[in-house]
Amino acid sequence: MMKRFLFFTIKILLLTFMVLVVLDIAYTQVYLQSSHRGKIDYVYNSKARHYDVVILGSSRANNHFVAPLFEEKGLKTFNYGMSGGHLFEASLLLKLMVERHYTIKNVILEADLNLANEKESESVASKFLPYIHRSKVIESHFAQQPHFWDNYYIPFYRYIVFDPQIGFREMYDAAREKPTKLLDHLGYYPLGKNPNANMKNDLTNLKPLHNEYYEEIKQICKANNINLIAVMTPMCSNVKGLDYFLKVNAIYPEIHNYENAIEGDQYFSSCGHMNDTGARKFTTVIINEFFNK
Amino acid sequence: MFFNSLSFALFLPIVFVLYWFVFNKTKSTQNALLIVASYYFYSCWDWRFLFLLVFSTFLDYYTGIRIEKAKTETARKFWFWLSISVNLGFLGIFKYYNFFAASFSELLNGFGLQTSPLLLNVVLPVGISFYTFHGLSYVIDIYLKRIKAEYNFVDYSLFVSYFPLLVAGPIERATHLLPQVKVKRTFDFEKAKEGVYQIIWGLFKKVVIADTCATYANAIFDHYQSMNSLSLILGAFYFAFQIYGDFSGYSDMALGMSKLFGLDLLRNFNYPYFSRDIAEFWRRWHISLSSWFRDYVYIPLGGSRGSKLKQVRNVFVIFLLSGFWHGANWTFIAWGFINALYFLPLLLRDTNRSNIETVALGWDFSSLKVFFSILSTFVLTCLAWVFFRAKSIGDAFDYISRIFTDQNFKIQYLENERYSYEILLLIFIFILVEWNARTKIEPISGSYSWLKVTLCIAAIVALGTYSDYKEFIYFQF
C-alpha cells in the first residue's frame, strides 16, 4: 500500500517538475521573441545599435531627459532610464549593450539619490531574469544576489516569485505583442502637472555610498571609450537635507550637480520628478552644457 | 504557517513520514505525534496562545468527566455551566469585548453622555472560534447524554487540536472524530490518493481562484466610490468567488491532508453556488457551522416545531448568531440578518426543504426554471456578501445603491492596473469544472485524472497569486 503511494507521490512530484520545466521553456521563449514591451527586452533582443547619447538611471532619468531634443540637435539618442530602477540595473543594461556590440559615444548617467543604494530593485531587476540562462552577463551580474540559486536552478521559480513583472499576464501580453508606452518618445516618459502632488522631500537620512555599480559603470565606459557624463538632477524647492548633493560631490567630484538647475515648483510633477516643461528646460541646459561646445 | 506556504510544504511530509514509519506502532504513538505536530503548528502563529488552547482543552476534558461522574443534577449543571461560561468568556474577552465596549460607549454618546470606551489591546488568538466550538459541542453532548466522556487526555486533545482543522475548521463533532482517533489507523492507498487530489484542488481554489479574485475585489471595494455599476457588480461577484475559493479551498486541503493520516473530517462545502434557494445554500455552505447551530441552538429552541412566530424567531436567532460568530462587527450581524430575511419566505411557505436532491439541468422548461433559481440565489448571496466585505453597514448600503444609481456599464481600469473584466473567463471555466463535478468530492479523480492533475498543477504555478500574499479569510474568525 505504502509502496504504491510512494510511487504515486514520486509521479506527482515528477509531473510537477515537468510542468515547471515546460512552463519555464515556454515563458522564456516568449520573452526571447519580445522586443517592444520594455527597455530591457528592447536591448536584450537587439543587435548592434549606434548612439551618440544613451541615458541611464532611474525615473529621475526617465522623466528628466527629453531624448527627442537631443535628436533635434542631430544626436542619436535613447533614454534607457527605468522607473524604480537602481544603479544595479543601469549597470547591467549598459553591460548588455556592450555585449551586443553597441557603439555609444556618450552615456548620461543620472547618479544622485540612487547612489545611496547598492541593492537591486526587484521590480526592475526581475525583468532581466527570463534571460538568466541565456546571457553570461546577466548570470554573473546576479551571481552574488541572495536568491540567485533559486532563480537560476529551480525551473519557473523566478516567474512565480516575480509574477507581477514577468508572470502570466506579462507573458501573455508579450506573446500577443501588446504595445506599451515605455519606448515612446525615444524612451523619455513625460509627466504632467499633478495638483495633488506632495511637494516635500526629506533626504536627511539618505547617505551616498561609494557605490559598486557606479564604479562598474565608470569602468565599462572607460574600457569601451564611452564618455561618461554623470549628473545630479533637480529637486523641488521644499527639500530637507539638501547637503546630500554636496556629500555626493565629496565622494565623487566628477558628478555634475544640477540640483538647482530648474527652480520653481511649477516645473515639477512631484518633488523628485519634473513635469514635461521642466524636463525640456533641463534637457536644454544639459545639451547646451555638454553638446553645444 | 499557512497551508499554501513553503514551510508547510516541508512540515506536512515530515509529519507524514514520522506518522507512518516511526510512530506507527500503536494509536497512542500516532496520536501523540499528531498532538506534538499540532501544537508546533499552532505555536508557529503565536506560541503564547498555546497556553490558551491547552487550558481550553483541559477545561473541557475535566468538566466533561465531572459532568458524567456527577451524582446530583445540581453538580452536573454546575460543571456544565462552568465549562460553557469559561469557554464563552474567553471568546467574549478576546473576540467581542472591544466591540461591546465601543458599541455601548457609542450608545451612551447617542444619549448625550460623553464616554470613551475602555478597550483591551489584545490580539485575537487564531482559531479560537473553531476550537471553542469543538469543546462546546463535546461538553453539551455529554451533558445531554449523547456521548460518554473521554478519559484519555491525549485522544481528547487530538480531537480539539488536530492541526488540519485547528485554525479554520471544519468544526468537528466528538461523535464523528473521537471514535476515529481511538483506534490505530492503517494506511489506505485509495484514501490517501483521494486526499492528495483534494489538497491539489483546494490549493487551486485558494491561490488561483480566491487570491486572484481578491486582487480585483480589493481594488473595487477599496475604491468603490469611484467605481461604476459594472465594476461594483463585478466586485461583489469576485468577492463571492474569493470567499468561496478561500474557505472551501482551505477545507478541501484540511480534509485532504486528514485522509493522508487515515482520518475523515466532516465535509464543509458542497458546491453552494449551485443552490436553488437560500435554505439549500445554507445546507451546502460552511456545513459544519450551520449544522452546529442547528443542533445546539436551533433545535433546542424548538426548531421548526411550534407556531410560525416561534419558528421565525428561531431562524433569526441562528442567523444572527451565525453572523456574529464571524466577527465583532455590525456588518457580520447585518449579513446574518439579511440571510434570515432571505430564508423567511421559504419558512412561511414551508418550502425550505424542497430542494434536497442533486441539481440537474437539461434542455427543457423546468431546467430553465432551475437555472434561474440558481442564478437568483447567487445574486441574493452576492448582495449579502457586500455587507460581509464592506467596512461598515453605511458603506455596504452605499455600495449597493451605487450599483443601481450609477447606470454606467463601461469597463474600468482599476487601481491595480488591471481591467475589471479580466478574470471572468477563469471564473467561468471554474464554474463549468465545478458543475461537472458537483456529485463528487473533487473534480480530479475519475477518468483522465493525470491530465486533470497536470492542468491543476500548471494552473497553480502559472496562474496562482504569490507576490501579493493573502491570508485565509477565515483565520480572522
User: Which residue of A8, A20, A162 is in closest CB contact with B461?
Assistant: A20
**CB contacts, 8 Å: B425 with chain A:** none
Grid cell listed for B377: 440565489
Which distant-in-sequence residues (6+ apart) come within 8 Å of B249 by Cβ?
Answer: B201, B202, B203, B204, B205, B206, B209, B210
With an 8 Å Cβ cutoff, are A2 and B466 in contact?
no
Q: Are A191 and A276 in contact (CB under 8 A)?
A: yes
Q: How far apart are CA A209 and CA B304, in angstroms?
A: 75
For residue A45, pLDDT over 80 is answered with yes
Nearest CA-CA distance, residue B245 and chain A, Å: 20
**CB contacts, 8 Å: A4 with chain B:** 189
User: Which DSSP symbol is given to B419?
Assistant: B
Task: Identify which of A77-81, B349-353, B462-466 has the greatest average pLDDT.
Answer: A77-81
A42 found inside a domain: no
Residue for grid cell 480572522: B476
A5 found inside a domain: no
Counting every residue written for chain A, the total comes to 293
Residue B48's pLDDT is 84
pLDDT band per the 50, 70, 90 thresholds, residue B286: very high
Q: Which of B101, B104, B121, B122 is nearest to B113 (CA)?
A: B104
With an 8 Å Cβ cutoff, are A12 and B453 in contact?
yes
pLDDT band per the 50, 70, 90 thresholds, residue B341: very high
CB neighbours of residue A84 within 10 Å: 13
With an 8 Å Cβ cutoff, are A19 and B458 in contact?
yes
**CB contacts, 8 Å: B462 with chain A:** 23, 159, 167-168
Q: Is B415 in CB contact (< 8 Å) with chain A?
A: no
With an 8 Å Cβ cutoff, are B188 and A1 in contact?
yes
- The per-residue pLDDT for range B295-330, each reduced to its tens digit, is 999 999 988 888 889 999 999 999 999 998 888 889
Grid cell listed for A238: 521644499
Q: Is B417 helix (H, G, I), strand (E, B) or coil?
A: coil
Residue B362's pLDDT is 76
A-B C-beta contacts closer than 8 Å: 51
- The per-residue pLDDT for range B418-427, each reduced to its tens digit, is 788 888 999 9
Q: Which of residues 187-206 of B touch A (CB under 8 A)?
A: 187-189, 192-193, 196
Residue B474's pLDDT is 62
Per-residue exposure over A35-70, b if at least 16 CB sit within 10 Å of its own CB, e if not: bebbbbbbbbeeeebebbbbbbbbbbbbbbbbbebb
Which distant-in-sequence residues (6+ apart) come within 8 Å of B367 by Cβ?
Answer: B360, B361
Q: For chain A, what is the HEC assignment?
A: CHHHHHHHHHHHHHHHHHHHHHHHHHHHHHHHHCCCCCHHHHHHCCCCCEEEEEEECCHHHHCCCCHHHHHHCCCCEEECCCCCCCHHHHHHHHHHHHHCCCEEEEEEEECCHHHHCCCCCHHHHHHHHHHCCCCHHHHHHHCCCCCHHHHHHCCCHHHHHCHHHHCHHHHHHHHCCCCCCCCHHHHCCCCCCCCCCCCCEECCCCCCCCCHHHHHHHHHHHHCCCEEEEEECCCCCCEECCHHHHHHHHHCCCCEECCCCCCCHHHEEECCEECHHHHHHHHHHHHHHHHCC
Q: Are A225 and A107 in contact (CB under 8 A)?
A: no
Q: Are A271 and A198 in contact (CB under 8 A)?
A: yes
A32 found inside a domain: no
Helices and strands, number each (H, E), in chain B: 20, 0
Which of B134, B176, B223, B326 is the catalytic position?
B326
DSSP B168-226: T-----HHHHHHHHTS-----HHHHHHHHHHHHHHHIIIIIIIHHHHHHHHHHHTTGGG
Residue A293's pLDDT is 60
Residue B472's pLDDT is 64
Number of domains in chain A: 1
Average pLDDT in the A215-239 region? 92
Rounded to the nearest 10 degrees, how much is the dihedral formed by the CA atoms of A158, A159, A164, A168?
A: 180
Q: How far apart are CA B310 and CA B323, in angstroms?
A: 20
Residue for grid cell 514520486: A10
A231 found inside a domain: yes
User: Which residue of A2, A12, A156 is in closest CB contact with B461?
Assistant: A156
Suggest the residue from B190, B461, B463 to mutate for an interface test with chain A (most A CBs closer than 10 A).
B461
With an 8 Å Cβ cutoff, are B461 and A15 in contact?
no
Domain limits at A127?
47-145+178-291
User: Which residue of B187, B192, B463 is in closest CB contact with A168?
Assistant: B463
With an 8 Å Cβ cutoff, are A16 and B20 in contact?
no
For residue A167, pLDDT over 70 is answered with yes
Q: How far apart are CA B410 and CA B79, in angstroms?
A: 62
The percentage of chain A sitting over the pLDDT mark of 70, rounded to a whole number, equals: 100
At residue B113, φ and ψ (nearest 5 deg) are: -95, 110
Which distant-in-sequence residues (6+ apart) come within 8 Å of B109 by Cβ?
Answer: B115
For residue B413, pLDDT over 90 is answered with no
Grid cell listed for A141: 551580474
Q: How far apart are CA A190 and CA A283, in angstroms?
A: 12
A13 found inside a domain: no
ipTM: 0.84
A24 found inside a domain: no
In A, what residues contact B, Cβ < 8 A? Answer: 1-2, 4-5, 8-9, 12, 15-16, 19-20, 23, 156, 159-164, 167-169
User: Which DSSP symbol is given to B420?
Assistant: T
Grid cell listed for B72: 446530583
With an 8 Å Cβ cutoff, are B461 and A5 in contact?
no
**CB contacts, 8 Å: B468 with chain A:** 164
* Least confident among A34-43, B29-38, B99-108: B99-108
pLDDT band per the 50, 70, 90 thresholds, residue B94: confident
Q: Are B198 and B442 in contact (CB under 8 A)?
A: yes
Nearest CA-CA distance, residue B268 and chain A, Å: 26
Q: Which of residues 438-467 of B touch A (CB under 8 A)?
A: 450, 453-454, 457-458, 461-467
Residue B98's pLDDT is 80
> Does the pTM of the predicted model rise above 0.90?
no
CATH assignment of the domain containing A200: 3.40.50.1110
Q: Is B149 helix (H, G, I), strand (E, B) or coil?
A: coil
Beta bridge partners of A274: A268
Nearest CA-CA distance, residue B458 and chain A, Å: 6
With an 8 Å Cβ cutoff, are B468 and A164 in contact?
yes
Amino acid at position A125, single letter: A
Residue for grid cell 493522508: B260
Q: How far apart are CA B372 and CA B271, in angstroms?
A: 17
- The per-residue pLDDT for range B35-86, each reduced to its tens digit, is 999 999 999 888 888 988 999 999 999 999 999 999 999 999 999 999 999 9
**Mean pLDDT across chain B:** 90
A173 found inside a domain: no
Residue B470's pLDDT is 61
Q: Are A127 and A41 in contact (CB under 8 A)?
A: yes
User: Which residue of B187, B454, B463 is in closest CB contact with A2?
Assistant: B187
Q: How far apart are CA A225 and CA A272, in angstroms?
A: 32
CB neighbours of residue B220 within 10 Å: 26
**CB contacts, 8 Å: B461 with chain A:** 16, 19-20, 23, 156, 160
For residue A165, pLDDT over 70 is answered with yes
Q: Is B413 helix (H, G, I), strand (E, B) or coil?
A: strand
Q: Is A153 exposed, middle or buried (0-12, 13-18, 19+ CB in 10 A)?
A: exposed
- The per-residue pLDDT for range A50-106, each reduced to its tens digit, is 999 999 999 999 999 999 999 999 999 999 999 999 999 999 999 999 999 999 999
Which residue from A minimizes the CA distance to B193? Answer: A5
With an 8 Å Cβ cutoff, are A15 and B196 in contact?
no
**Mean pLDDT across chain A:** 92
Residue B320's pLDDT is 94
Q: How far apart are CA A35 and CA B111, in angstroms?
A: 68
Query: B412 versus B191: which is more confidently predicted?
Result: B191
Which residue from A minimizes the CA distance to B197? Answer: A12
Q: Is B326 a catalytic residue?
A: yes
A228 found inside a domain: yes
Which residue from A minimizes the CA distance to B455? Answer: A19
User: Which residue of B196, B453, B461 is in closest CB contact with A160?
Assistant: B461
Amino acid at position A214, single letter: Y
CA distances from B248 to A288, B191, B358 (A): 66, 19, 19
Residue A63's pLDDT is 95
Residue B99's pLDDT is 79
